[in-house]
Amino acid sequence: MDNLEQELARIPDGYRRAIEEALKKVPVRNGVVSVRDLWLETALPMGLIVELLQSDGVQLPAHVVRVDLTRRSQKGEHGRKG
């Protein structure tokens, strides 16, 4: 049982590392990265990305000032314009 608990404790660390690696690859505009770009790069649930970023566990690279957490889209919620 201890082994399972250790494995489960490592899961958030793996997600953090995935986000930190994605931060090195996604577009940076005036020091700002879009949470949508992180979502596209990692395929992690957007809510999980936001939660990990807000928990201060993710180290931002020097060229990233902040992550824009707004979830704007060019299309409507269901993929339709308007």
pLDDT recorded at residue 13: 86
pLDDT recorded at residue 8: 58
Band the pLDDT of 81: cuts 50, 70, 90. very low
All structural domains of the chain with their residue ranges: 2-68
Model confidence over 45-56: pLDDT tens digits? 999 999 999 887
Segment 53-72 mean pLDDT: 88
Residue 46 near residue 39, CB atoms below 8 Å = yes
Model confidence over 28-37: pLDDT tens digits? 999 999 999 9
Q: Whole-angstrom Cα distance, residue 50 to residue 57?
A: 11
- pLDDT higher than 70, residue 82: no
